Amino acid sequence: MKRREFIQSSIALSSLAALGQTATAQAQDAGKAQVKRYTRLGKTDLKISDISFGAGKLPSAAMVLRAIDRGVNYFDTAPDYGRSEDYIGAAMQRFKEREKIYLASKFCEGGPYVSGKSHLQPGTTKAEYKAAVEASLKRLNTEYLDVVFVHAMGERNDLEDERRRLLDENMLAAFDELKQEGKARYLAVSSHGPNNMETLMREAVNSGHYDIIMTAFNFMKFPQLPEVLKEAHAQGVGVIAMKTLAGARDMEIEAGEAPFEHAALKWVLKHPEVAGLVVTMKRVRDLENYLQASGAGFAAADQRSLDRYATLFGQDYCRTGCGDCHSACPQGVPIASILRYQMYFEHYADEKRAMAEYAALERDAALCTGCDDAACNRACAYGLPVGAKLQAAHRDLSFPA
């Protein structure tokens, strides 16, 4: 172990010593929210917590132990999620019942996340696919992954290229070998759009190669997706949802309404095809808040909350998976991707990632300056002022000259 790695590991373990020891006691305090429902994930033998842990912004190893003590048993991470895998690995050094925890990671390069570029692409060798997983195993301090994802299908507007990534022979052969070696159990694929999500997920289901799909799914977008989820469920392919909070805008609760986050999560979980959802948890209060939706039925108060949210934000929130505006832009600007980065910047408090991803685009919204065609506005079925939103995104996401 290099000196720097030793120091980082020591810091992580010190964090656990200071905070992790109190996690169990805190979880047992009266009134603490707990997971109340577990559902089998398709034909796999994974029975996952209905509210599961998105570790994209994991702040510490102690958060993992807190979540475990609340009953969370499924953790979704990736090599390009900052130090997420390292923190989970540090937690695994203290939590000795590995078989009770399900770890999912991605066929992905380490380092900073760059949309469409971190994920291993067609042309990657079998050895490189395997090496990526083995590097994750080392960081996670585990001998196997429960789930390995081909992640974020549809980020590029090139259907044939994405199909090649979906069914890459080297990737499939690498996974088969990893499975035979006991280093990986189930193969999965994910998509949050913005391009061809339904098409790619249906093809994944029908290919026979995938055990699990994870898709963006919430009450405000993807009207055709429920049919894909039903098809997956019928074929025994497990379904996990993500991007469930529809932009995660702040909204004050009015009389007769449920808290918005609870309503949005319960709406997703009321679909019998969905075994569980992954939601990013950065703070202890996120854990407490989201777990209150676990095992809870969807009620009239939840629908009232969602209806008002849609009224307040429906004409400002980009349904990034619909893609209606893409062909309308004569400049080929990746509209949905830019508006998703703006959502990260404005509402997810993830400014650094949003600006880095925007800077990596080959074509950005600078091309929208002075455009008076407004074809993108006319193409939006939801009435969004797309052109104005793109220009605002360019101002927010551009690094100062």
Please state, as a whole number, how many other Cβ atoms lie within 10 Å of the Cβ of residue 301: 15
Measured between alpha carbons, how far is 240 from 39 in angstroms, rounded to an integer? 11
Handedness of CA 216, 221, 226, 231 (dihedral sign): negative
> Which of 345, 343, 361, 363 is closest to 353 using CA atoms?
345
Classify domain 33-299 at the CATH topology level.
TIM Barrel (3.20.20)
Task: Show pLDDT as tens, one digit a residue, over the chain (401 residues).
Answer: 444 443 444 444 444 434 333 444 444 445 799 999 999 999 999 999 999 999 999 999 999 999 999 999 999 999 999 899 999 999 999 998 999 999 999 999 876 555 556 788 889 999 999 999 999 999 999 999 999 999 999 888 889 999 999 999 999 999 999 999 999 999 999 998 888 899 999 999 999 999 999 999 999 877 789 999 999 999 999 999 999 999 888 999 999 999 999 999 999 999 999 999 999 999 999 999 999 999 999 999 999 999 999 999 887 777 766 667 777 888 888 887 888 788 778 767 778 778 888 888 888 888 888 776 678 888 887 778 888 888 888 889 888 76
Structure tokens at 263: 């309503």
Measured between alpha carbons, how far is 119 from 121 in angstroms, rounded to an integer? 6
Q: Say what the pTM is.
A: 0.84
| C-alpha separations of 296 from 22, 86, 220, 230 in Å | 28, 33, 20, 22
74, β-bridge pairs:
102
Strands 38-40 and 47-49: antiparallel
Measured between alpha carbons, how far is 39 from 50 in angstroms, rounded to an integer? 7
Element (H, E) at 40: strand 38-40
Helix (DSSP H) and strand (DSSP E) numbers for the chain: 16, 10
DSSP state letters, 246-302: TT-------TT---HHHHHHHHHHTSTT--EEEEE--SHHHHHHHHTTTTPPP-HHH
> Longest Cα pair distance anywhere in the chain, in angstroms?
61
Structure tokens at 268: 């997703």
Domain segments of the chain as ranges: 33-299, 326-397
Measured between alpha carbons, how far is 39 from 294 in angstroms, rounded to an integer? 11
